[in-house]
Amino acid sequence: MKKVKLGKSDIAVSAMTVGCWPFGGGDYWGEQSQKDVDSVVGAALDLGVNAFDTAEMYNGGESERSLGIALKGKRDKAVVISKIGPSNCHNVRKHCLASLERLGMDYLDVYMLHWPINKLAVEHFTSDKNIIETPPTVEAAYQQLDELKKEGLIRSIGMSNFGRTQMEEVVATGVQVDVNEMSYNIVSRAIEGEIAPYCIQNNISIIGSMGLQQGLLAGIYKTVEDVPPHQAHSRHFSQERGKGTSRHYEEGAEKELFEVVDELRKIADDLHVHIAQLSIAWILKKPFMASTLVGSRNINELKMNVEACSLEISNETEALIDKISQPVLDILGFNPDYYEHSSKSRIY
């Protein structure tokens, strides 16, 4: 398994990072047994996957708790990434210590701000009017993260869902940031606009999230009607699809999405690989991608996804997939916020 160092840090992450959002179980992803989590985490480490991505907000902290159980006795083999919500940045240390307690660990490898600090993003995490009206400054949040690093509670500092201007603000604080975690997959290519070039220029690694567009690019849905409401409230789908939870007021690109899936299936069949594997291999072909996050819910999915990390697709196949996914990119554009209309994007 290929490993890449994050930014200027000495932390090397595997080409695949295990997405731990479903761990602990919850509304969004449904039930997830600890037995499956234990076997996925154990097998990942055995197969050379060392990175695990969680967050304080995933299942109300249960994701961190579940990952901590699975990593008991194996902590030194893992790169543990967790995230703080933008509404909690008045006291970063308190939230970091709470994450560490749930994980049963005494340090995090990477600690990142889950979303940028702006009114729209903060509103999504809290209804507390005081925090919404007077959120902490980016400078204050990143200085606190730097203190945690000096104290040895975290090894590296990151950001997640930060656009170009927002990255510039963080860089201007003088605090070393090594990574930006952003949605990236065949049908979510917004970072190719301004974000990836800026990251390359500034030695900020990119970890791509939602590698399989929440299962769509693993071919688990035959028609758009099969996509559950939680997985259908992004801008890929019609505003109507998310059953009252969508807030982007866009028409989506449902027809084009399923055309991409159909085409991918054909290419995957020709190459004798699974569509999920082709989707992962395409991401890892991109030179700006340090690691792709994939949510593997059980050991079978994990093994298949790990195999994809050593699947090398040709330049022609990459270009063909770029071409077939262009209509989706044309509709969704370069707004990297896949949940909000561009006029209300939380990422800029």
Using CB under 6 A as the criterion, which residues of the chain lie in contact with ligand NAP when the complex forms?
A: 19-21, 53, 160-161, 181, 209-215, 218, 220, 276, 293-297, 301, 304-305
Question: In the complex, what is the shortest distance from the CB of residue 241 to ligand NAP, in angstroms, rounded to a whole number?
Answer: 17
- For the chain, list the strands marked E by DSSP: 3-5, 12-14, 16-19, 51-53, 79-84, 108-113, 154-160, 179-183, 205-209, 291-294
Name which of 211 and 252 has its Cβ closer to ligand NAP: 211
Name which of 147 and 228 has its Cβ closer to ligand NAP: 228
- Alpha-carbon distance of 95 to 255, in angstroms, equals 42
Name which of 181 and 250 has its Cβ closer to ligand NAP: 181
Contact of 161 with 346, CB cutoff 8 Å: yes
Q: φ, ψ for residue 65 (rounded to 5)?
A: -60, -45
Contact of 129 with 75, CB cutoff 8 Å: no
Supply 305's token pair: 């996804």
Question: In the complex, what is the shortest distance from the CB of residue 96 to ligand NAP, in angstroms, rounded to a whole number?
Answer: 17
- Shortest-Cβ-distance residue relative to ligand NAP: 19
Name which of 148 and 347 has its Cβ closer to ligand NAP: 347
Name which of 51 and 100 has its Cβ closer to ligand NAP: 51
- Alpha-carbon distance of 336 to 184, in angstroms, equals 9
Question: In the complex, what is the shortest distance from the CB of residue 128 to ligand NAP, in angstroms, rounded to a whole number?
Answer: 21
Question: What is the β-pairing status of strands 79-84 and 16-19?
Answer: unpaired
Residue 173 CA to its chain's centroid (Å): 24
Name which of 181 and 340 has its Cβ closer to ligand NAP: 181
Q: 238: buried, middle or exposed (CB in 10 Å: 19+, 13-18, 0-12)?
A: middle
Question: In the complex, what is the shortest distance from the CB of residue 150 to ligand NAP, in angstroms, rounded to a whole number?
Answer: 25
The end-to-end CA distance of the chain, in Å, is 34
3-state helix, strand, coil in the chain (%, to 5): 45, 15, 40
Question: In the complex, what is the shortest distance from the CB of residue 281 to ligand NAP, in angstroms, rounded to a whole number?
Answer: 12
Question: In the complex, what is the shortest distance from the CB of residue 74 to ligand NAP, in angstroms, rounded to a whole number?
Answer: 19
Question: In the complex, what is the shortest distance from the CB of residue 256 to ligand NAP, in angstroms, rounded to a whole number?
Answer: 18
| C-alpha closest to that of 296 among 3, 69, 47, 1 | 47
Name which of 147 and 334 has its Cβ closer to ligand NAP: 334
Name which of 174 and 229 has its Cβ closer to ligand NAP: 229
Question: In the complex, what is the shortest distance from the CB of residue 53 to ligand NAP, in angstroms, rounded to a whole number?
Answer: 4
